[in-house]
Every structure is written in structure tokens, then in C-alpha cells.
Structure 1
Amino acid sequence: MKDLRTAFLVKYPKYEIILNMYSKANDCPATWENLSKVRLQAFVDYMEERLAPNSVRQYAAKLKAVLNLYNEEVELPKDYNKILSVKNVRSTNVWLTDEELERIITYVPKNANEQLVRTQFLIGAFTGCRHSDYTRLNNRNIVGGMISYVSLKTKTHATVPLKPIVKELLTNLPKEEVSDPTFNNNIRNICRKTGITEAVKIFKAGKEVEGEKWEFVSSHTARRSFATNLYLRGADLYSISQMMGHASVEMTQNYLCCGLREQSAQVMEYFK
């Protein structure tokens, strides 16, 4: 019988990226033996943090199609069909406030991994870059008082005003690299240690999930925090969209994790 990678690429030769994302989400190769409910859910969560909802549904459906093809030859996780049947529902996610980001700034890392993850996460929170981009930034991306880079995912050019702390962080950037699961585990631990523990309720995968805020933080929370904090300051969506390298304002709206921002006195007068 074919191994999972071979079986998948025979059916979808142009979509090796799906297997690669499964591997990155779980820090292990995509094999029949490495399939489990927990890992399949981690794979879906990983995609939801990085891709448009339509792409998540299509990619999950492709993996499901291959598993369905081999379900009589391989012992597959129970409910794999349900996990990979991603519904067209909008999720709500957490974001970190200015005060919570300040806690991470003042946190003293306990080891090299924490130092790297703390530094990279803060760079992402103050530049709005994707995780795949903010882990690649260095001093050469500082051009004329701006952060300038080409997105690895979309190949589009984006510029963001340079915040002084970003310049400082890039100057002292560690050289190590960590896997995505290690990154997420470390940033969650940092958030827990800094008291980002308020009770929250989010809507994900078609159901409400409750827990402490740190439990739902991930590498992509940095990008959501950037968009949300700028929006709450009154920045217009078009400007935020341009800084984030989005193709449309509609994409940017998906990154706003807050409710309606405070309105001007003139607006509120209308409701009196």
C-alpha cells in the first residue's frame, strides 16, 4: 500500500503544501501512523490562522478525499470526516491589548526559545506581518524610517511605519529558529506567566469555546493585535489594509477581533 504522502500526491500532485502544513502544525511528518484526531484538528487550526476560509475548506476537503479513498485499507481516526468538514462560518479570535503587549515587552525570558519567540511575536504585533514574514525580518528591512518587505506568501510589497521598539528588537534579534508548534507553546506560556489569563469565549469551528485568554494565543495573534489596536485608535480600514499587504479591505475586516469602536460625539448624538 502507498504511504500517505505518495497516495496524496498521486491524487493532488500540485498540493504538497497541504502535507507540509500538516507537518508544520504537528512537528511531525504526514504519515498514516501520525494521523490522529488531535493532529487533524491542529492542522485545521493551523490553516485557519494563516489562510482565507475558502482555502481552509478546500485544503481540508482534499485531505479528507484521500483518507476516504483509503479508509478500508488504513485504520483512520474516529470522526476524521467531521474534523475535515470545515463549515463556512466566521470564527472569533483573541487579540492582545496595548497593556498586554507591554507585559510581554517587560517579561524576562527564561531560555533561548522564549527569547526568540518573545522578540519575534512583538515584531509581528507592531508591524502586522504574517508569521512567515516577521520571522524573516532584520535590520535590512528598515528603509527610510519604515519597515519594508515582500510577503513570502503573496509576493506583495508592504511598508509599515517603524516603531522604535521594533528597531530595538531587530537589532538584538536571536539567530535561532523554532518550529511552529514550539513557537505557539512558548508564546502561550509567556502569556500565561504574564497574567493574560482572563476568561474568554470564542467561536471556532462552528461552536463556542471557553477558556483563559492565553490558551487561544498563537503566532497569528500578533497580526490580529496589530489590526485591532490600530482600528481602535481610529485608523481607517484602507490604511490598515495597505500596511498589512492585503488585496482588499474585506480581508482586513476578518482580522478585527473587537466590537464597535468608540464613536464620536456627533455619531452618538444620532442615537439620542
Structure 2
Amino acid sequence: MGYSQLLADIVAFRDYIQSERGLAENTLLAYGRDLARYAHWVEQVQLPDYTHPTLKHLAAYVAFLHEEQLAAPSIARHLVALKMFYRFLQLEERASATTVNLLSSPNLWERVPQVLPPPAVETLITAPQPGDRFHLRDRAMLEVLYATGCRASEVVNLKLNDVYLDSGFCKCVGKGSKQRVVPLNRHAVTALRAYLGGGVDEGGRPAAGPEVVFTSKTGRPLTRIHLWALVKKYCKRAGLPKTVSPHTLRHSFATHLLSGGADLRTVQELLGHASIATTQIYTHVDRDRLKALHRQFHPRGGAQPSPPPPAPPGSETPPAA
């Protein structure tokens, strides 16, 4: 099985997950890039038969990914793409997925997701000022990011017909074209009203344009890159770390909800996670709350007894002779 046949199989796999699995466009692009990297590695090491790799070969590929200095989540996604690809070949009766399934993904959440404390989120959201060219739009986008916990792609693709300001909620379309309803708090509603009703010169939305909520001054839809750029811009102004991204606000949204007492299932629904196991990463973030719950509800979890008050002067018991 040669390199050209592998490329053909990758194209067929992408057609399969797009037409039959209905995966989101961003997922298709990511898996395509991941498998292109695998194909490059196969050609580089001259793998004898990519349809039947050994565990030794696959371990060497994982080592190659580490040598590329990819982050643990990126390596895990590469392995997921690889597993799905080999399962596709198994459906075609051309390969076995047994060896691939032996590979275990890296522990994604050894590192706790970056979370901003509420005061830092407030500083970021209020960073757009009236003197900025698009301050109404940018303020509304930041408010919606934190109010809903939506992904960057979900915010830039949010449609006017899916926003219900009077009722205080919006309808988001997430991965796999799955829809969910997410509340909008009063701050987000106020910012959206100001943006939708404001003048173009102060960053309001143009009257004419596409059906999406957030557009450029000329009425063109924004992209995830635009949203990332504006978050970086206002993070710099607010003095926040360079590592803060739109996804940081999503992490903060989930963590702050759990800190406030929301249950895990509710947060799962709001985030649009298919599995609650994904949502559970946020239970590792707020350790203080977990300790407080343990103290409150465990039969022996109460606070340690306070030491007795000091004896009044002159009342000390004399030492024994």
C-alpha cells in the first residue's frame, strides 16, 4: 500500500465523515490536517503497509508528534482522527482497528484549563471604550462569549433570527450541527441592543448585511480569527496574560457556574458537550468549593474544633512539684 493510495483513502474518509457522520466543518478541517501529518510521517519512515501498522509503528508516530512539540490536546486529537480513520478502513474491510485501539490518548487534563477570576473577566469585557472603532460590536461579542460559554465559531455564526432579546436567550448551533438554547444575561442583552441599534460610526451593526449578528463595518461576516484577534487586543489593554483566548472565557463560564452551585448536567447542556466526562474537567478547577461541600455534607467533614480560649491572667494552675 503506497503513499498515493493513503492520500486517496484520506480523501474518501473525509467524504465519509462529512456525508454520513455529519461532523462540523472545523472538525473536518482539523482531521484533514491531522491525517495529512500522518501521511507525511508514513512517507518519511517508509511504513511498509499503513493498513496494518504494528504497535511499534504507532508508538513511533506518537513519539514523532511529541518531537513536533505539539500540545497534549493536539496529540490526542491526532490520535482520535487516526482511530476514526482506521475504523473507516475496517468498515471497508481493508484494515483492523485493533492495534489503533491499543493506543491510549495522553491525559488531556493533567493541566487545568486556564480560568480567569470574575474581576479579570469584568476588566476584559469592559475594555472596549467609546473611542474604539468597533466598541459597540466588540463589547457585545465579549458579553455574549462570557454570558453563553459558546465556542468562538458559534458566536461568529450566531444568526439574527436565533437571538431573542425580549426573552433573554439565543439558539446556538454547535458541533455536528446540534442546536441548544442558552440564556443571555441582562448585560449581554443590553450590549446586544446597543450594538444592533447603534450607529455604524460607533461600532453598531450595518442595516444591510448577512443574516449573522456580528459583521464588519462593510457588513461582511466575521471569522473565528477576527474574534481571536479582538480578544488578544483587549487582553493586552486590560493587562491580562497573552495566553487568554475566546476559549478561556468558555472555561471561565463553566467554572464560575459550578462555583456558584450549578449542577454538572446543567453545565453540560449549556456547553453543548456530548459527554458529561468532558464537562467533568471543570470539577478539578474549583478545589475550594469541593472542600467546602465536603465539610458541609460529609458526616465527619466538619471544621476542626476551636482551641479553648486562653485562661484569664492569674488563673493559671501552678506546675506540679
TM-score bracket, normalised by the shorter chain, equals 0.5 to 0.7
Q: Which amino acid aligns with 1:88?
A: P
Rg larger in 1 or in 2? 2
State the 1:163 CA deviation. Answer: 0.5
Q: Which residue of 2 aligns with 1:187?
A: 231
Equivalent-residue separation in structure 1 for 2:190 and 2:5 (angstroms): 48
Are the structure 2 counterparts of residues 107 and 81 from structure 1 closer, same or farther at C-alpha, using a change threshold of 3 Å? closer
- Choose which of 258, 268, 272 in structure 2 pairs with 1:245: 272
- Choose which of 138, 153, 158 in structure 1 pairs with 2:175: 153
Q: Which amino acid aligns with 2:120?
A: E
Counting aligned pairs with the same residue, the percent is 21
Equivalent-residue separation in structure 2 for 1:105 and 1:220 (angstroms): 14
State the 1:89 CA deviation. Answer: 1.9
The structure whose residues are more often strand, as a share, is 1
Q: Which residue of 2 aligns with 1:67?
A: 40
* CA deviation profile, 1:208-235 (whole Å, cap 9, x unmatched): xxxxxx2211121221111111111111
- Long gaps (5+) in structure 1: 1-5, 19-49, 74-78, 197-213
Is 1:219 matched up with 2:246?
yes
The structure whose residues are more often helix, as a share, is 2
Equivalent-residue separation in structure 2 for 1:124 and 1:114 (angstroms): 15
State the 1:124 CA deviation. Answer: 1.5
Equivalent-residue separation in structure 1 for 2:284 and 2:232 (angstroms): 18
Q: Answer yes or no: is the 8 Å Cα contact 2:180–2:270 preserved in 1.
A: yes
Are the structure 2 counterparts of residues 7 and 94 from structure 1 closer, same or farther at C-alpha, using a change threshold of 3 Å? farther
Equivalent-residue separation in structure 1 for 2:163 and 2:247 (angstroms): 22
3-state SS in 2 of match to 1:234: coil
Equivalent-residue separation in structure 2 for 1:111 and 1:129 (angstroms): 24
Equivalent-residue separation in structure 2 for 1:194 and 1:266 (angstroms): 37
Are the structure 2 counterparts of residues 184 and 8 from structure 1 closer, same or farther at C-alpha, using a change threshold of 3 Å? farther
Q: Which residue of 2 aligns with 1:15?
A: 14
Q: Which amino acid aligns with 2:272?
A: G
Q: Which runs of 4+ in 1 moved over 6 A?
A: none
Q: Which amino acid aligns with 2:224?
A: D
- Choose which of 214, 218, 229 in structure 1 pairs with 2:256: 229
- Choose which of 78, 82, 91 in structure 1 pairs with 2:67: 82
- Choose which of 253, 266, 271 in structure 1 pairs with 2:296: 266
Are the structure 2 counterparts of residues 128 and 220 from structure 1 closer, same or farther at C-alpha, using a change threshold of 3 Å? same
Q: Which residue of 2 aligns with 1:134?
A: 155
Is 1:165 matched up with 2:203?
no
For CA contacts below 8 A with separation 6 or more, give which structure has more relative contact order: 1
CA RMSD after TM alignment:
3.7
Q: Which amino acid aligns with 1:246?
A: H
Question: When the two structures are superposed, what TM-score results if normalisation uses the length of structure 1?
Answer: 0.62
- For 1:49-64, list aligned pairs within 5 A: 62-64=35-37
Equivalent-residue separation in structure 1 for 2:162 and 2:284 (angstroms): 28
Equivalent-residue separation in structure 2 for 1:217 and 1:257 (angstroms): 19
Q: Answer yes or no: is the 8 Å Cα contact 1:114–1:190 preserved in 2.
A: no
Q: Which amino acid aligns with 1:194?
A: A
For structure 1, which segment, 110-119 or 184-193, has the greater mean C-alpha deviation from structure 2 after superposition? 110-119
Q: Answer yes or no: is the 8 Å Cα contact 1:128–1:223 preserved in 2.
A: yes
Question: When the two structures are superposed, what TM-score results if normalisation uses the length of structure 2?
Answer: 0.53
Q: Which residue of 2 aligns with 1:99?
A: 119
Equivalent-residue separation in structure 1 for 2:189 and 2:277 (angstroms): 30
3-state SS in 2 of match to 1:64: helix
